[in-house]
Amino acid sequence: MIPEQPEAQRLLVAEYVLGLHSREQSAEIEQWLEQDDDAASLANHWREHWLGAAELLEPVPLPPRLWREISRRTASEDSRGRFDWQWLWQSLTLWRTVSVALLVAVVLLLGPLRVPAPVYTVVLQAPGEAASPGWRVTVSAQGDLQLTPLSESEYPADRSVQFWTLSDPALGPRSLGLVQPGESLVLPASRVGGVESGQLFELTLEPPGGSPADRPTGPVLFIGRAVAI
């Protein structure tokens, strides 16, 4: 529960930056920080200050294998992402769209039995209502994601429901697209990106067509964190 008193809110930010709260409490605070610029700014100020404490640590020697592995993994990421992805995007947009549409159709037609066993699951609940699961997210070993409604919910007809993920507050939330109320959604791994334990997913109510900004602008409808199965 986010307190209403400014003094208590400021203390909560200080505690959050230090990581003093449980994962569930932190999720609620992160959701609040996403929507409160002043609180987010205060969190950044704390992080800047705490850098001074981090600089008291004695640097340790780096094992050579560490850089070799980072270099190898980022090089393979480059070959898949920075070069090929753009090239494919520009030259094969139509093909990509058709492929995704076919994938969605196949998954919907064949049903959940053909979907690989998930490795992560997320139960999206209304904020502050642990007993009100609204949607379920499953992520397969291949990284494909399925969003499934668990209950019937009513949304204003003149608004859109948008799906977001937040892997790290420093990176900010990332849109995973619009959701049709009551309908499942399947996203390929290439669209989802990496999923990690504890990663935040949420649905927000946005203007028609989605948020005009690069972050959620409307109220959070459902929220939850990824749990490894």
Partner 1 sequence: MDDSRAELEEGNVLLRACASGDRQAFHQLYLNEAPRMLALARRFTGESSLAEDALQDTFIQVWENARRFQSQRGCARTWLFGLLRYRLINQHHRSRRDAFEPLPGDQWPDSGPSPEQCSVEDDQRRAIINCLQGMQMDRRRPILMAFYQGFTYEQIAETLAIPLGTIKSRVRSGLKGLQECLRL
Binding site for partner 1 (CB under 8 A): 10-11, 14-15, 18-23, 26, 42, 44-63, 66-67, 69-71, 73-74, 77-78, 81-82, 168-172, 196-198
Question: What is the rounded CA–CA span in Å between residue 39 and residue 118?
Answer: 36
Of 58 and 154, the one with the shorter C-beta distance to partner 1 is 58
Which residue, among 206, 196, 150, has the nearest Cα to 175 in the 3D structure?
Answer: 206
Shortest Å, Cβ 94 to partner 1 = 27
Instruction: Phi first, then psi: give them for residue 75, nearest 5 degrees.
Output: -65, -40
Of 37 and 154, the one with the shorter C-beta distance to partner 1 is 37
Of 71 and 99, the one with the shorter C-beta distance to partner 1 is 71
Question: In the chain, what is the greatest distance between 2 CA atoms, to the nearest angstrom?
Answer: 59
**Beta carbons within 8 Å of 57's beta carbon, 6+ residues apart:** none
Instruction: Answer for the pair 176, 191: CB distance below 8 angstroms, yes or no.
Output: yes
Helix H or strand E encompassing 158: none
Instruction: Answer for the pair 160, 144: CB distance below 8 angstroms, yes or no.
Output: no
Of 49 and 108, the one with the shorter C-beta distance to partner 1 is 49
Shortest Å, Cβ 198 to partner 1 = 4
How would you class 39 by CB atoms within 10 Å of its CB: exposed for 0-12, middle for 13-18, buried for 19 or more?
Answer: buried
Shortest Å, Cβ 182 to partner 1 = 32
Question: What is the rounded CA–CA span in Å between residue 39 and residue 33?
Answer: 6
Instruction: Answer for the pair 177, 201: CB distance below 8 angstroms, yes or no.
Output: no
Q: What DSSP designation does 92 have?
A: -
Of 66 and 117, the one with the shorter C-beta distance to partner 1 is 66
Shortest Å, Cβ 120 to partner 1 = 13
Shortest Å, Cβ 69 to partner 1 = 6
Shortest Å, Cβ 34 to partner 1 = 14
Of 63 and 156, the one with the shorter C-beta distance to partner 1 is 63
